Amino acid sequence: MTTATARSDRRISPVFLGIVAVMAVAGWAVWTDFSANTGLAVFLFVTAGWIVSLCLHEYAHARTALHGGDISIGAKGYLTLNPLKYTHALLSIVLPVLFVIMGGIGLPGGAVFIERNRIHGRWKHSLISAAGPLTNVLFAIVCTAPFWLDALDGVPMAFRFALAFLALLQVTAALLNFLPVPGLDGYGVIEPWLSYGVRRQVEPFAPFGLLAVFGVLWIPEVNVAFFDAIHGLLNVLGVSELENYCGYQLFRFWQEAPELCVSR
């Protein structure tokens, strides 16, 4: 099996590097309280960080598919980490960012287009689907590391809140994406193990899986239960619900943040 790709197909995109630069500068502004509007700096830091994680999510799918046998991945530009190269930039980038703004939910976006007929072996297909949300899990571990390592001495509160909210987005994205719902990666993990008849019956529902999940989350009882589970998991990682709350309030810079989130 060959996984050869042209060097230009693997070159990191200036678009991605620009997003990373925005994240770094905004993070510095939050840390140093350089900006006159801390909320705007938090918004830019979290949004850029969220887009970076989306790019890495899609890259993980693509890279795993490449090693699984789909050598067409490189020519599609997926290995450059350029969000504009993904199957549908609206689904992969724009809608997830809007979901964050609307409800503080890290809803997963659309996946890269993989030529599954080039890949043989059910385990390879499952791993390709799992690679994306596993990247969100890794991102969440990195974001929460200062909390569960008890290494927060000297960390400014605004940066701490921003990091907590970014971690929440990663955890929600991982959990939602692992749901066995058609159209999400969780279903992609189990799909190779289903019978042909079942896959044919489920296939028409795949385009609506993401919207269905979003709709169900708007049901108050489901929303409360879901976020209780999220906060319970984050508490285990040392991140309190208050830190997540303040991170989200600072993120929404167009609204005045509560006093307890700016005076601590």
- What's the CA gap between 168 and 156, in Å, rounded? 19
Token pair recorded at residue 38: 């801390």
Question: Tokens 């060097």 map to which residue?
Answer: 7
| Amino acid of residue 38 | T
Residues 250, 39 contacting (CB under 8 angstroms) = yes
- What's the CA gap between 82 and 190, in Å, rounded? 28
- What's the CA gap between 70 and 57, in Å, rounded? 17
115 as an active site residue: the answer is: no
| Amino acid of residue 74 | G
Question: One of 58, 203, 221, 256 is an active-site residue; which one?
Answer: 58
- Beta-carbon contacts of 230 under 8 Å, excluding residues fewer than 6 positions away, are 168, 171, 172, 175
Residues 162, 251 contacting (CB under 8 angstroms) = yes
Integer angstrom CA distances of residue 9 from 48, 60, 113, 122, 239: 23, 15, 16, 27, 39
Token pair recorded at residue 248: 């989200």
Residues 168, 104 contacting (CB under 8 angstroms) = yes
Residues 231, 244 contacting (CB under 8 angstroms) = yes
The residues carrying an active-site annotation are: 58
